[in-house]
Every structure is written in C-alpha cells, then in structure tokens.
Structure 1
C-alpha cells in the first residue's frame, strides 16, 4: 500500500504547486478625488479584473503593496486594507467576499491621509501571497495607473489654484529666454572668477607633451588619461619643461583650490598651490573642448585661447545621495563622482543607512548587511527587511537589496580622493534607524537561542521591555534607537571605528561622520524601563527632550576623541523650550563653539522655519545650506501626473538651484511649496543673516533622497540638469543680480546659463562618463490666432512635431516657425543624440 500511496501524494503535491502561481489579474489604480469630504485626504481606488479562466477564491490569499500615504478607511465590505509598518500594506478578503469570477472586475476604493498628485504617489510593488505558501510572494506585473485629468483629481484642497503644467504655461515660462549664439557663450561652468577669451587657440595632438612637478604629477596623469581616451593613442610625456605643450606650475601665492589657466598659441599653463587647484584647472581645460570631444576619437583637440583666474566661493560643495531607501550600485557611484569632479563639487554625503536599508559592510556585525541590506517578502520575522517603496517580494531586486562590501567602499573612497572629493558617511541615528535596529534584534535573538545572553545584549539598539507608542513620518512604530541603552553607544563606536579603518586603508581624508538626528517622532522612549533607570541615575534628565541632548553630548564626546567633528541634520543644534506657554525651538547654546556642523533643510515657505538656517548660523553653528525649496533634487520638476518625484516642500525645476541666493534666499523666493505666487508677508519678523552668520555658512548641498529614485536612469533624470545650477551657486562668485535683486540682470544671466546647458553641457553629457540620462524639458507651445508658437527652456535642444497624431521621432519635422493650428499636433524635445523627452499635445 505504501508504494502506491507515495506516488499519489506526489501527484497531489505537484498539483498544489501548480496552483500556487500569481493569479491572472489585471489591476489599475486611479485618483478619484483629493480634498475628499473637504479634508486633507484623498479617495483613490484599485480596480481588479480577473483575466484568468478560473474564479479568484473567496479566501486564502493576501495582496501586499507599498503606499506612501496612510490608508484610513476601506470603502468596501468585501475586502479590507491593513497597515503593517512603514509604507507596507495588505489587502485581504473580508467575510463578505464571495470570490471574483473569470472576466469580472471589482473596484476597491479607500481613503488616505494627505493628497496624491503624480504617479510616484501611487501604490507600488504589488504582490500576491497564498496562505498555503506564506513565505512566497508573486509579483503582480499587469498593473497600470490611470492619469489624472480632472481638477477634482489634481487639486489638493479647496482653493488650490495650481493646475497641472500645460504647454501654454511652459511657453510663458520660457518666453524671456534668449537664444544666444554658441560662440558667444562662456565655455566653463561653473563660472570662473575671471574669464577672458583671447582668440589665440592651441591644438593638442598625441605629440603634445605634458610636464608637471612631482607635487602635481597625479593631476597631470589624470589629464593625460582623459586626452588619450579622446585621441585614441597615448600622449607624449616628458620630465623636462618645454616651451610648447601643457605645463603645470606650483604657485604658493594661490589659495587652496584656486588656479590660473592660460591657453594661447604656445601652449597651456596651469598654475596652482596644491593638487586640488590643479585638478580644477584640468576640469576647466577639458570644459573648453567642444562637447563632441567625448564619445569618439579624433586626431587633435582645439582649445580656445583663454586667461582664467579662479577659486571657489564655498569650501563645502556637496551632493547628498540616499542609497538606503533604494540602493545605487558602486558603478553608479563612480559615475556620479566623475560628474561631481567635472563640475568642481568636492563632497559626497553618503546616506547609507535608514529605516529601509543598511548599505555598508561592517565585518564585526554581519547582521547589518545580512538582514539590513536585503528587502523582500518573508513569513519569518527578522530574516530580512520587508519590501518598501515598491521593491517587491524578491530579495534579489537591485533597488531594494544591495550593499557595498568593505573592499568596494575602499575602492569608492580612493576613486573619490583622486577627484578631490571627500566622502562623508552618514550613520542615521537615533531615528530613521530601523534597518540597524532590526539587524541587531536579529543578532540578539540568534545569540539568545545559543544561550549567549551577554553577547546577545552587547549591541542591542532597542529596549525589549519598552512599551512606548509612536509613529514616524514614514509610518514606522519601531525605528528609533533607544538612547538609554549602553549597548547603543557600543554599537555606534564599533561602526565608527570600522569606518575609520576603511578610510585609513584607502588613504582617504575623513574629518567628520554624519550622525543623522532627523525626524524622531513624539512618543518615543516614554514607556521604556531603560530610560526610567537612566533618569534615576541622572536627575537632570527630566523629559524625553532632555535625552536628545544627552545622546548628542555623548556622540560629540565620542567623535572628538577620534579627532573628528560632529555633523548632523539641523535638529542636533536645536533645543525645545516654551514661549508664551507654547512649544518653541531655539538654537541649542550647549553645543555652540564645539565645531559642530549641521545640514539645514527646513525652509519650507509657509511652515514658519524659513529663517532656521540663518538663525543657526547667527548663533555660531557651521551651516551647510540644504534648503528643500531650491536644493532637494528629488522634488518633482513641476506639477504633472507623469512627472516623478515628491513635492511636499516645493516644485524644483532647473531654475530653482540656479536662482538660489545663499546669503539671502528670501530675496529671490517667488512661489510657495504648492507652486502658487508667494505671499512675502511670511518673511515678516524672520531673522536675516548677519555678517557674523555669513562666516558660518560653510557650503551648499544638493540632495537626492531615493524614495522615488529606484534606477540609474531615474537618478540621473532627477539630478540633471539641476546639479549644474547648484554647482554654479556653490563655486562661482555671487552674481550682480543677486546683490541688487535686478530682475532684468537675472533674466540675462538665466538666458546665458540655459544656453550653456542646451548647447554645451547636455550635449557633452551624452557621452561623458558613459553618458547620462538627463531630463529633457517639455516643449512650450501656445495658440495665438490660427498659429501655434513653440519654444524650449534650453536653447540648442530641438523641437520636433507631427500633425497626424503619431508620436514624434528623431526623423520628424523640426519646428522652426509658427505652425497652423491642428487637432492632432504633438511635439517633443530632442537632444543632439536623438534621445527625446515627453510628448506634449497642443490642443486648439
């Protein structure tokens, strides 16, 4: 009997396995309305259509999805939506659900907090789990988003006057931009302090020699490698200074990072007092070459004659890249470092840890990457992190999972150092730390199972007896390090020392580590026995707010003992107090004078903290301007359903970072966070930056948070061309229009910059460092009488069109003059390499 039973069981098992696949479902999502019932809420809906031949069962399954809005109510008695943690939700059948017949559809409407506008607000990463196989998730790939077209779908609240971007709006925005001939444009970006073209060009050939003193030989080698790749054959080298060729000179009279560059018929002379200045001179020399010099080989390279004297305005010129929310590979980081070096940016702030990921190998704590660097579905708690930001059920997903090994990080550090870029790692603490908290909880659980209680508790980041209730901005209830735990400081010391070891091995500079401090929610630590014990030992710790100062006091002591200074988000420099019986924030006097540096992001126009950066600088803190209004590159370019990115702080097009005035950003702020004309009364009573405060503005930072940035192409789209405007403001002298607030002078400068981008910088980036998928702007178009007029934000790019309703291609007709009005007119902007932006329809 047994020999007959076994094949029967095998057949049943095989049958069940055959059934456990993704169901045949077509799913769509749409916005029904914002401002639902007159509240700050949105009503949206899934539509599920059974495209299979069998009915969807009435029970035994769950659909999971990520959604950045908290779902409050499900308007259905057949299914229910439950919040798990963070942005992860599950949709489950309710008792009333009787299944979904083949070919049938059902709509699941639900109400969520806040509003939703573009496609990156939508639920993402949908997957299916059968109760019979709870550890397996099946990705649901037949999923579409229905664009919003009606005001009730995209107006966020009653009185929201900011509509979707239209070709006509774009046309008006572009109207003042002049088309300037390419030969009249400055050829170096960011703009040098002094730049003069002389007309005496020099031709570089493979026979051109490059001479440098020993102190600058690495910069000479860098230049030689670049020129060799363009000409396809090795260049000549020499140990003797000759009259013609490229000559590097040491000049001790020049400041750090300053340089002089002279090109004439006799050759090229680069002068600097140290390596960084010589490196920036090399970048300026390369910038003088025609944009087509990259991506092909040529027999010679013609360099226009110039006299350039230059030095940076700010010493800290940074890009912050978030690799925690979505991972970005080592290859992409090296490509970013090449881009930063070319535009003379010198700091990469690497946000490698957050709630959704820990991305750096720490050999002493392998759980950090075993658990904290992998995201995917699992029925086993603490096996790895759950899906987030649409990363899906599979842990092999490149955006959700991944980390830099110790050796890879050392390679990144060396690559950055060769381009004079400091890499500042960020250990996010005490909030935004769920990846670390859960990794150390997994370690704790495993060691306890082995009977190693002391070892289990050694690096524990949470108090197991803590019953505090809180919810972070990103909807987590377990993402904060307990600052009363001695093991938390042991953990941070261990990670810090491991990082210091990597920098030593790489031979890379390290002056500071960023220790976070952002967005710790109310309610944390309030019911923690460990906190109560600490208070009994330290009577001065009267409230949970006091624990904040206690924590950063200890961190400050730790980093100073290691020869570093403390760096963090703005909150580490702030103290809560009371004013007229209400909560009030002031610069914390305890840390002033201790060389503490802060990134200040919150200048959201209308939120009340518009002057925070200036208040902290005036109080004595070193401030890096990281203002969301102008410098958050993950903000959407404008309001449109198909435009990716967040928009809670502002819409940020290319002009925003270019127009930023570091010492008085009130002056040139023109629209509020919703895109409406700004009510300037919000600046009444706000603190201006003093001359003393100006000394404490150490730099500017462009930021790329990665919640919506899940691929190399998306990263480059959000970064470029915004990065160039930020580089201009960080390096170039303060322009005259910023000092006088002269609108005409600004428009002239903006026209020059827009032409530089369209005619020189973007064409170069088609091939530079392998090529970049920068954003191409939408065509502007307006109907005037019986004609359609069109324009483009960045002159030099090409508008092509069709009149038969088909999609414009690289072979479509080029727009050159006003066109007759047509029902089926479509336009699209193309770069010189044939890559295109989005199609716009011009309706009569």
Structure 2
C-alpha cells in the first residue's frame, strides 16, 4: 500500500466483496458512502448484517482510521469523515487492481490496519496558468491526489503567461489575458516558439465545481493569484495597471519585469480579484504569491513618497500588508512564497518555502507557519534522469529515490521550531507539460513517493517502497495514468522539438544560496 500505513496486522483468509454487499454508516458519512458506492460500482444498499460498516470514532486522530477485514465483513472507523475517507481509500488498495476500473466480486484479505498522517498539510500544486487544463482533467488530478491521501490542491491560477479566472467587472482578463499568441518550446535558452495561440479560463461555475468535487474527496483547494509580480497577463488586458507596458500576454518562460504599478486603481483591482476569490474558495488561506517581483519599474513610483517609504524595495512589503489586511477583514489569511520572509510576513500567514531548504529553517525558527517545498526535492517539472529521451529536461535531476528521501522537517531543526512545519508540497509547474498525459508522466510515480513522505513516519526504506510500488503500478494502469515507466522514457515520451537545459545540483545550490542572501541578512 502507498502511502505505507502506520501499522498493518494481516491474517489468513479473505472476505468477498460483491454486488450483494450491504452498508451501514454513522451520522455524517453520507458523502463518503456516496463516493465509495461510485468508486466500487456497487449499490451497497443500507441494511442489517451489513458487509461494509462506516463509523466515526472520536477516540481516533481526526484524519486517522482503523480498517478491519474479517469473516463478518469490512469495518472502517475514522476520527472524522476524512479519516473514514482515507480508510476507504486504503480499502480500494486492498482490492485487486481490476476493481479500480469495473464492478465485480472481489476478495479482500483479512487484515487489521491502524493509520494516521504525520502532517496536516499534504499538498500538491498544479500550475494551470502556463498551460491551461480543462476542468475534467483538473478533477482527475484531484482524484489521483486523493487516492494517495493528499489533502491540499494549491491551484496556481494566474501568471505572466495566462490569466485563468473570470472576475466580475474586469472582462478583458479573460477575453485578452487568458490567451497568448504563441508558446515557447522548451527551455528559454533556445528561444523556440510554436506559433500557435494557447489559452482558456475557468468560469465561476467551473471553479465552484472543482472546489465541491475536491471537498467530497477531503481536498482543500487553496487558490493562488500571484501579485504584485507575475502580472503581465493582467497588464496586457488592462495597461493602466502597469507601468507603461502595452503588449501581449507573455509568450516566453521566465520572469517578467512588467509588474503592477500599485496605484489606487491597481489596489482596487487586486481587492476585486481577492473578493471574488474569497467568494468562490472557502479555503482559510488565499494565495497571493509575492515571488519573483522585480522592482525595476518602481524606481519612480509616487507611492514611495506618499506612504513615506525609504525606496522601491519597501513597496513589496507595503503592498502585501494592504492585501493581508483586506483578507483578514474577510476572515482569511495570506499564503505566499518564501520571498515574503524578506518583506515582512503578515500575521498568521503561511509560507511556501521553495528556494532550497534554508527558507524552511528560517521561517520555522521565526515562528512562521511553513509548508516545505524546496525545488531540489519537490519540483516535478525537473528532469527524472540523465536519459537523453527525457522530455524537455530542465532543472536538477530529481529521481524517484530523491523525492522519497525528502523530509519536510529539515535535519537538526529543534522541536519547537519543527512544530511550525505544517507539512510538504510537491509542485507541478507546467511550462513543459502541454497535456494531461505529460502531467501524468512528470508527476507519477514521483508523487507516490512524495505522498509517503508527508503521510507516513519519518523512517525511510526505499527498497521496501520500491517493492510496494511494483504492486501499486498496476493500480495506476487501471486508473489510466500515463506514468513514467521504471525502465525509463519510451520513444514517444521524447520532445525533440522542445529541448531542455539541464542543471547540476552544485550549480543550483550555489544559485539558491545567492537568491536567499536577503533572508540571511
């Protein structure tokens, strides 16, 4: 099973789960029962002498569960509905892989399992700004994440290369900002483009559907609208938000210098966007990014004098405080990248630490809640091997074993500080993932390894994981996942038209050291 349960006590014998099975359930478990009926393709009518029993046991950890399979049937108890849901996901893994694709009568081995997660934040970020992903593909992504007991979907909705949500009163965000004239092919060092327009956006109803679907699978959707940088798509739609730029949505990768001008109009725009986001997403955390924001265009900003700031370097922190205050009035908190550590972290904010390991340490020691997602361990757009057949090989090499070695709590972090680490997150940046099949290839099975690092105990045994993964891959086959074969890339996986730019780990570590110098001062 993946992720590995805390305790498994198998015994001899099997229980056959089939079309005649009946169900009993405790209060508040109707949603879990409905989901389970759909996944098992079984009616599971309510009745006495039920073969499947779902119940809440307040004595268990909130997301923990106890699963028992014996001659009299299957019982799943959880500390909450989420705990029951995770127990039911483990039940699905006890069934033969064929049960994941069709109805039937299936043997379930006798066993006693006690389990609960190590971390409350078990996340995966999906970037739908660089390449738009239709709603059905997002829902499938949620299903696969939930199958591996991940519970946060960080949805990266806007960037320089595309704006993916409609906002009332700002129609050009989707008529203009959601579309770019062409897309860069491969790493930016090659300067290649495909010459084809790309775009798309989600309506309010689309977003509500994603949120509701995820909630049914115990996944919280944390939205991110990056600001004040990574805003070229919005500025292409409304040039008055910028600092003189008049041009298209960005077609190349990398960081745009075209940022918000922080005028009263820009602040009003950001508040309108965040107000809409708060209306759609019930998440207590709202992502405002705050990363990679060049201050070049702020040198002569009138806001500096008006607000009594020392210079353009202080504008970022001032802006973040404005947005944090606005969100706090609505009972929400800021979720942002670790650059915010240099500008002043708003009260009760949560930081996503991505620039190597040091930002996690610095945030945790400063008493800031932090989600650990260092690029050298958690960026699933990074190449999986040195095989020349890997599609668009960028970044440092990040193998399955590398991901499995990741621990959200950096070594040597004192216990009091370690308590500030909420968990970990894998990030799926889609510059080089033009389709759901490509996302599958880059994400799995590495996300299987990641799921175990945030659910299971800190102890690691890659040989044991590899043996369980061999049994798990047929489940991914049954679910239609285009995962990377353990033997390496297939001929059809290559992208000769989109060449990459591999990096060495020492070079990247040196670069990260320079990038985080502002945090160490």
| Structure 1 length-normalised TM | 0.55
Structure 1: stretches of 5+ with no match in the other structure: 1-187, 229-233, 377-385, 442-459, 467-471, 504-508, 576-587, 604-609, 666-687, 738-748, 780-827, 830-834, 839-844
Alignment partner of 2:200: what SS? coil
Alignment partner of 1:305: what SS? strand
1:425 aligns with 2:223: yes
Distance 2:481 2:387 in 1: 23
Equivalence map 1:140-159=2 (5 Å): none
The structure 2 residue matched to 1:476, chosen from 231, 239, 256, is 256
Match of 1:783 in 2: none
CA contact 1:637–1:652 (8 Å) conserved in 2: yes
Equivalence map 1:10-49=2 (5 Å): none
1:717 aligns with 2:424: no
The structure 1 residue matched to 2:354, chosen from 573, 589, 601, is 601
1:314 aligns with 2:112: no
Change beyond 3 A, Cα 1:404–1:837: closer
1:777 aligns with 2:490: no
Match of 2:152 in 1: 347
| Structure 2 length-normalised TM | 0.88
Change beyond 3 A, Cα 1:205–1:495: same
CA contact 2:67–2:114 (8 Å) conserved in 1: yes
Match of 2:305 in 1: 536
Equivalence map 1:498-513=2 (5 Å): 498-503=276-281, 509-513=282-286
The structure 2 residue matched to 1:495, chosen from 273, 276, 284, is 273
Match of 1:561 in 2: 329
Match of 1:96 in 2: none
Match of 1:189 in 2: 2
Alignment partner of 2:469: what SS? helix
The structure 2 residue matched to 1:766, chosen from 472, 477, 482, is 477
Match of 1:629 in 2: 376
Structure 2: stretches of 5+ with no match in the other structure: 186-191, 247-251, 495-521
Query: How many corresponding residue pairs?
Result: 483
Distance 1:321 1:778 in 2: 26
Match of 1:436 in 2: 234
1:198 aligns with 2:4: no
Distance 1:501 1:205 in 2: 43
> What's the offset of the Cα at 1:640?
3.5
Equivalence map 1:279-678=2 (5 Å): 279-298=85-104, 300-376=105-181, 387-389=183-185, 392-395=194-197, 400-441=198-239, 460-464=240-244, 474=254, 476-478=256-258, 480-483=259-262, 485-503=263-281, 509-527=282-300, 531=301, 533-539=302-308, 541-575=309-343, 588=344, 591=346, 594-603=347-356, 610-648=357-395, 650-664=396-410
Match of 2:502 in 1: none
CA contact 1:635–1:645 (8 Å) conserved in 2: no
Distance 1:522 1:536 in 2: 16
Distance 2:213 2:24 in 1: 23
> What's the offset of the Cα at 1:730?
0.7
1:40-61 CA distance string (max 9 Å, x none): xxxxxxxxxxxxxxxxxxxxxx
Change beyond 3 A, Cα 1:241–1:573: farther
The structure 2 residue matched to 1:689, chosen from 407, 413, 418, is 413
Larger Rg: 1
Alignment partner of 2:423: what SS? strand
Distance 2:270 2:393 in 1: 31
Match of 1:683 in 2: none
Distance 2:144 2:76 in 1: 21
Higher relative CO (Cα under 8 Å, sequence separation at least 6) belongs to 2
Match of 1:235 in 2: 43
CA contact 2:64–2:116 (8 Å) conserved in 1: yes
Distance 2:217 2:229 in 1: 33
Alignment partner of 1:519: what SS? coil
CA contact 2:56–2:81 (8 Å) conserved in 1: no
Change beyond 3 A, Cα 1:602–1:473: farther
> What's the offset of the Cα at 1:221?
1.8
Change beyond 3 A, Cα 1:718–1:236: closer
> What's the offset of the Cα at 1:394?
3.8
Alignment partner of 2:388: what SS? coil
CA contact 2:404–2:449 (8 Å) conserved in 1: yes
Change beyond 3 A, Cα 1:646–1:622: farther
CA RMSD of aligned residues (A): 2.2
Change beyond 3 A, Cα 1:203–1:698: same
Alignment partner of 2:457: what SS? coil
1:513-537 CA distance string (max 9 Å, x none): 100111112523013xxx2x32332
Distance 2:178 2:136 in 1: 18
Distance 1:335 1:219 in 2: 18
Alignment partner of 1:199: what SS? strand
Distance 1:289 1:547 in 2: 56
> What's the offset of the Cα at 1:293?
2.3
Distance 1:837 1:429 in 2: 35
CA contact 1:646–1:708 (8 Å) conserved in 2: no
CA contact 1:375–1:391 (8 Å) conserved in 2: no
Distance 2:441 2:377 in 1: 16
Distance 1:632 1:370 in 2: 31
1:116-158 CA distance string (max 9 Å, x none): xxxxxxxxxxxxxxxxxxxxxxxxxxxxxxxxxxxxxxxxxxx
Distance 1:391 1:206 in 2: 54
CA contact 1:200–1:263 (8 Å) conserved in 2: no
> What's the offset of the Cα at 1:703?
0.6
Change beyond 3 A, Cα 1:574–1:407: same
Match of 2:33 in 1: 220
